Amino acid sequence: MVYDRSRTPHEADLVARAFRVLPGGTLGNTYLPQDEAVLVARGKGSHVWDVSGNEYVDYLLGSGPMVLGHAHPAVVQAARDQMDRGSTFFATNEIALYLAEELVKAIPCAEQVRFFSSGTEATFYSLRLARAYSRRDKVLKFEGGFHGMHDYAVMSLNPKDPPPFPTPHPDSAGVPRVLAQEVLVAPFNDLDVTASLIRAHRQELGAVIVEPLQRVIPPGPGFLQGLRELTARFSIPLVFDEVVTGFRLAYGGAQEYYGVVPDIAAYGKIIGGGFALAAVAARQEIMRHLDPAIEGTEGYIPQIGTLSGNPIAAAAGLATLRELQRPDAYPRLFATGRAIRQALEEAIRDTEFPAQVIGEDPLFDIVFSTNPVLDYRSSLGSGTAFSRRFNALLRQQGVFRGPSKFYISLAHTEEDVKRSRQAFAHALVRLRTGA
């Protein structure tokens, strides 16, 4: 095993150059100090390699899109074939149509879809659609829920000193203060508080948006069902952010997995097969607001994106979905995730470290606290310093992941499980001893 990850002078030079031309030396997604930064050079299957040639078991997986692993032959071939036919058209194209038809078949709430280039766009337009349909302005979201980087999404994203509910906290500079008047914040998994807010603001609520699996916090028994019943009772569109859970928890996403169907759903990551692609799905009566045939009316929503429905991304996404349709795909994904999760839980027990694992088998994380984690506030103070050190120790052992979450792929192997088990044990022993 690798105990001290070596860095070649070439990678050190590239990292220094990155810190000169990129704010914080990062693309904005994952940040590490300059002396710890990893510059990824390539990926194959369940592994990535940095510029220095160090190999890692990869649990970041591009933040989730690479559910088949990196450079899957079917996805690579589909993208290459499409590149020979043209890379983008800014027009309705054949392969995007095929992907749209497959999404409508797979997604319980979908009668129509509209493509975008990012999950941020998808959740933003989901809210715009909901407000156009309901003719109301306010949005209710759940504290700590991640819905991309638009102004609504960064409200109470990760407040360090959360204000009383339902007051939002803008967790970004540059967000107009007036927007706080249009956002209500509720605690995830607390149906009583949520219900009281919905009832009190039912005349002005245009949307309720939720991650069905909030980061890695599962919904409590009856929470999503109660949320669905409440929003339906008061004719408030319920939006599921399935950018992460779509095609990961099941082929029908969280809607199938948890048995709750929203009015609108946002998708990204897996549906693009590693390329920039996202989508919004809903019933036709909601999606009609995007139909250019009603341009000029009060209900029309214009939407233009140069690469929306890009054919290369659509081809890669369709190839990915075909692989996920194999009968053994989800049983294998869950079994692999369960094995890796159990390896982490065993390391926690063996070292008697005060930590726990939460989430679902294809997507979970370690929390450095033994207190129950039911919402954002109960996750505060759960050992951020421990988490950073744990991740650094894993990298030394050849295991790569982001600041949070273990994403599991169909490419992970029994050897990856074995290697990860050793890395987990080593890292937790080092944390326990302070070494």
Helix (H) or strand (E) segment spanning residue 280: strand 278-282
Q: Residue 4's pLDDT band (boundaries 50, 70, 90)?
A: low
Summary mean pLDDT of the chain: 96
Is the pLDDT at 3 greater than 60, yes or no? Answer: no
Of 224, 236, 227, the closest CA to residue 127 belongs to 236
402 and 285 in a common domain:
no
The answer to the question of residue 355 being in a domain is: yes
CB 168 within 8 A of CB 197: no
Other Cβ atoms closer than 10 A to 80: 12
351 and 237 in a common domain:
no
% of the chain surpassing 90 pLDDT: 93
Summarize pLDDT for 195-231 with one digit per residue, the tens: 999 999 999 999 999 999 999 999 999 999 999 999 9
More confident residue, 305 or 28: 305
290 and 206 in a common domain:
yes
Q: Residue 269's pLDDT band (boundaries 50, 70, 90)?
A: very high
296 and 266 in a common domain:
yes
Q: Which of 290, 306, 324 represents a domain boundary (last residue)?
A: 324
The DSSP letter of residue 63 is G
Is the pLDDT at 1 greater than 60, yes or no? Answer: no
253 and 388 in a common domain:
no
Q: Which of 301, 324, 347 represents a domain boundary (last residue)?
A: 324
180 and 52 in a common domain:
no
The answer to the question of residue 4 being in a domain is: no
**Dist. CA 406–CA 345, nearest whole Å:** 13
Q: Coil, strand or helix: which one is 409? A: coil
363 and 237 in a common domain:
no
Give the model's pLDDT for residue 159.
94
398 and 353 in a common domain:
yes
Give the model's pLDDT for residue 320.
98
Q: Rounded to whole angstroms, what are the CA distances from 192 to 182, 203, 218, 340, 373?
A: 21, 19, 17, 35, 18
**Dist. CA 377–CA 365, nearest whole Å:** 17
Two tokens, residue 352: 């008697």
Whether the link from the prior residue into 166 is cis, omega within 30° of 0, is yes
Whether the link from the prior residue into 170 is cis, omega within 30° of 0, is no
Place of tokens 């997995």: 257
Place of tokens 């800014």: 90
Q: How far is CA 158 from the centre of its chain?
A: 15
The answer to the question of residue 15 being in a domain is: yes
**HSE (side-chain half, CA atoms, 13 Å) at 210:** 31
The answer to the question of residue 398 being in a domain is: yes
411 and 309 in a common domain:
no
Give the model's pLDDT for residue 428.
96
Helix (H) or strand (E) segment spanning residue 41: strand 40-44
More confident residue, 4 or 375: 375
Q: Which of 324, 343, 371 represents a domain boundary (last residue)?
A: 324
Is the pLDDT at 348 greater than 50, yes or no? Answer: yes
Q: Coil, strand or helix: which one is 266? A: strand
Of 343, 382, 324, 388, the closest CA to residue 158 belongs to 382
Of 300, 328, 391, 388, the closest CA to residue 60 belongs to 391
The answer to the question of residue 2 being in a domain is: no
The answer to the question of residue 162 being in a domain is: yes
Other Cβ atoms closer than 10 A to 367: 23
- The enclosing domain of 297 has a CATH number of 3.40.640.10
Other Cβ atoms closer than 10 A to 24: 13
% of the chain surpassing 70 pLDDT: 99
End-to-end CA distance of the chain: 18
Q: Residue 2's pLDDT band (boundaries 50, 70, 90)?
A: very low
The average pLDDT across 248-254 equals: 98
The answer to the question of residue 131 being in a domain is: yes
**Dist. CA 429–CA 219, nearest whole Å:** 32
**Dist. CA 310–CA 298, nearest whole Å:** 29
pTM value surpassing 0.85: yes
Please return the burial class of 98, using the count of CB atoms within 10 Å of its CB with bins 0-12, 13-18 and 19+. Answer: middle
Beta bridge partners of 279: 115, 267
Q: Residue 382's pLDDT band (boundaries 50, 70, 90)?
A: low
Give the model's pLDDT for residue 31.
87
Q: Coil, strand or helix: which one is 150? A: coil
158 and 38 in a common domain:
no
Is the pLDDT at 39 greater than 70, yes or no? Answer: yes
Q: How many residues does the chain have?
A: 435
- β-pairing, 138-142 with 205-210? parallel
357 and 248 in a common domain:
no
CB 343 within 8 A of CB 408: no
Print the domain residue range for 282. 73-324
Lowest mean pLDDT among 6-15, 193-202, 358-367, 374-383: 374-383
Q: Residue 354's pLDDT band (boundaries 50, 70, 90)?
A: very high
The answer to the question of residue 1 being in a domain is: no
- The enclosing domain of 24 has a CATH number of 3.90.1150.10
300 and 334 in a common domain:
no
Of 133, 131, 168, the closest CA to residue 151 belongs to 168
Is the pLDDT at 35 greater than 60, yes or no? Answer: yes
The DSSP letter of residue 243 is T
Give the model's pLDDT for residue 383.
73
Q: Rounded to whole angstroms, what are the CA distances from 290 to 135, 296, 302, 353?
A: 15, 12, 6, 52
Two tokens, residue 105: 């078949």
Query: For the chain, how many structural domains are there in total?
Result: 2
Residue 115: what are its φ and ψ, rounded to 5°? -90, 150
**Dist. CA 29–CA 254, nearest whole Å:** 24
**Dist. CA 180–CA 176, nearest whole Å:** 8
Q: What is the dihedral of CA 405, 411, 414, 420, to 10 degrees?
A: -30
Summarize pLDDT for 80-136 with one digit per residue, the tens: 999 999 999 999 999 999 999 999 999 999 999 999 999 999 999 999 999 999 999
**Dist. CA 355–CA 268, nearest whole Å:** 31
Is the pLDDT at 29 greater than 60, yes or no? Answer: yes
The average pLDDT across 14-38 equals: 92
